[in-house]
Amino acid sequence: PIAVSRKYSIATMGADGIGPEVVDASVEVLKKLVQVDGGFELDFENFDWSSETYKKTGKYIPDGGLEQLKKHDAILFGAVGAPDVPDHISLWGLRLAICQPFQQYANVRPTKIFRGTSSPLRKAEHGDLDWVIVRENSEGEYAGQGGRSHRGHPWETATEVAIFSRVGVERIIRFAFETAQKRPRKFLTVVTKSNAQRNGMVLWDEVASEVAKDFPDVKWDKMLVDAMTCRMVLDPKSLDTIVATNLHADILSDLAAALAGSIGIAPTSNLDPTRQNPSMFEPIHGSAFDITGKGVANPVGTFWTAAEMLIWLGEEDAARKMMEAVENVTERGISTKDLGGNANTKEVTDAVIQELEKVY
């Protein structure tokens, strides 16, 4: 046997709802991948932080938890959110409580139409829609700034202040240009709402023009977010890499996932591009309590998530083969209900595991 020099430690955290089901399925696939590839190793440590722990202890993350988590090379995350915990508590309690201290300021969401699946766009098919949405993940509209006064009175007011720092805007736009530069088309669309929002969004426009000078080989254009939704539907082939604020990109990426066929197939990477902290990888879907425990969740979004994690760790070849196996399976029509099939989580997982033998 060849000595393995590349070894990565992965923290897994399924958290709530279908999260543990799809993360467990992905760990099975990753273990098989390691076995057939033979060139690298993965060590898994599971963290059982979830809304259940929160309800028992009042905390999502135990004391010293972040230090434990920081020892790993990457985090494979499921979903957070429970019917009996307000969404803003669970989101800030776990997901953002990891993203923010770990400075995962770039959120990356690729979208494509898988072989054998169909888009609700009448004319779009496999290959026609191939985007990467780069979402600002540390400030903007979700900075948590603002407050409420005169609670409960008719004259109550609330402010939700969007924060845009030059440093924050520059680093995400630079990251987006770098992302675009690595892709074959080298094309970036910068999305704002700078006609109506004349401070932060105008700063985005200015910074984009400045940063663009450092990337003469990347073509780019600007879009207002409202017009962007039309362009995604009417002219998907005209887009490649897209960068937008925390709120705008959140909305655009759900639209992108739906246009690609299902919310159940798309991944998200929360990256610390400085690599001082582990980055976190998760499917874009949520905890989906309506199907939790039934064994029918689509694991493909988390498989793709795991492949994106491998790319970040430097295992691009294994990631490509894993995706090839996944697409071979969807192409054969083995898929869950959301993709029009009738397979369950285990059947899709087993099919991918079998397929891995063939692609290697």
- Binding residues for ligand ATP, rule: CB under 6 A, are 18, 79, 81, 87, 263-264, 285-291, 297-298, 301, 336, 338
Interacting partner of 298 out of Mg ion, ligand ATP, none (Cβ under 5 to 8 A depending on kind):
ligand ATP
Interacting partner of 263 out of ligand ATP, Mg ion, none (Cβ under 5 to 8 A depending on kind):
ligand ATP
Shortest distance, CB of residue 87 to ligand ATP, whole angstroms? 6
Nearest to 164 by CA among 39, 248, 255: 248
Residue closer to Mg ion by CB (options 93, 286) is 286
Quote the CA–CA distance of 269 and 308 in Å, as a whole number. 7
Interacting partner of 90 out of Mg ion, ligand ATP, none (Cβ under 5 to 8 A depending on kind):
none
Q: Per-residue contact track with Mg ion, 157 to 196, x per CB under 5 A?
A: ----------------------------------------
Shortest distance, CB of residue 35 to Mg ion, whole angstroms? 35
Strands 6-15, 187-192: parallel, antiparallel or unpaired by DSSP? Answer: unpaired
Shortest distance, CB of residue 205 to ligand ATP, whole angstroms? 31
Shortest distance, CB of residue 180 to ligand ATP, whole angstroms? 28
Interacting partner of 297 out of ligand ATP, Mg ion, none (Cβ under 5 to 8 A depending on kind):
ligand ATP
Nearest to 73 by CA among 15, 7, 14: 7
Residue 81, interface with Mg ion (CB under 5 A)? no
Shortest distance, CB of residue 261 to ligand ATP, whole angstroms? 12
Shortest distance, CB of residue 12 to ligand ATP, whole angstroms? 17
Residue closer to Mg ion by CB (options 66, 251) is 251
Residue whose CB is nearest to ligand ATP in the complex, by number? 286
Would you state the structure tokens that stand for residue 221, as one six-digit string? Answer: 């254009």
Residues whose CB is less than 8 angstroms from the CB of residue 219 and which lie 6 or more positions away in sequence, other chains included: 186, 187, 188
Length of the chain: 360
Shortest distance, CB of residue 336 to ligand ATP, whole angstroms? 6
Interacting partner of 89 out of Mg ion, ligand ATP, none (Cβ under 5 to 8 A depending on kind):
none
Residue closer to Mg ion by CB (options 266, 310) is 266
Q: Which stretch binds Mg ion (CB under 5 A): 142-150, 193-201, 280-288, 322-330?
A: 280-288
Residue closer to ligand ATP by CB (options 8, 303) is 303
Residue closer to ligand ATP by CB (options 197, 344) is 344
Residue whose CB is nearest to Mg ion in the complex, by number? 286
> What is the strand order of the sheet 279-283 is part of?
40-46, 6-15, 74-79, 279-283, 267-271, 106-112, 130-136, 241-244, 187-192, 219-224
Give the residue carrying structure tokens 């995400």: 172
> Three-state secondary structure along 304-334?
HHHHHHHHHHCCHHHHHHHHHHHHHHHHCCC
Would you state the structure tokens that stand for residue 114, as one six-digit string? Answer: 């898988």
316 alpha carbon, distance to own chain's centre = 18
Task: State residue 332 phi and psi, 5-degree precision.
Answer: -80, 0
Burial class (CB in 10 A: 0-12, 13-18, 19+), 255: middle
Quote the CA–CA distance of 91 and 96 in Å, as a whole number. 6
Nearest to 228 by CA among 252, 202, 258: 252
Among positions 17, 168, 264, 286, the unique one binding Mg ion when judged by CB under 5 A: 286
Residue closer to Mg ion by CB (options 44, 289) is 289
Shortest distance, CB of residue 239 to ligand ATP, whole angstroms? 23
281 close to 14: Cβ distance less than 8 angstroms: no
Residues that bind Mg ion (CB under 5 A): 286
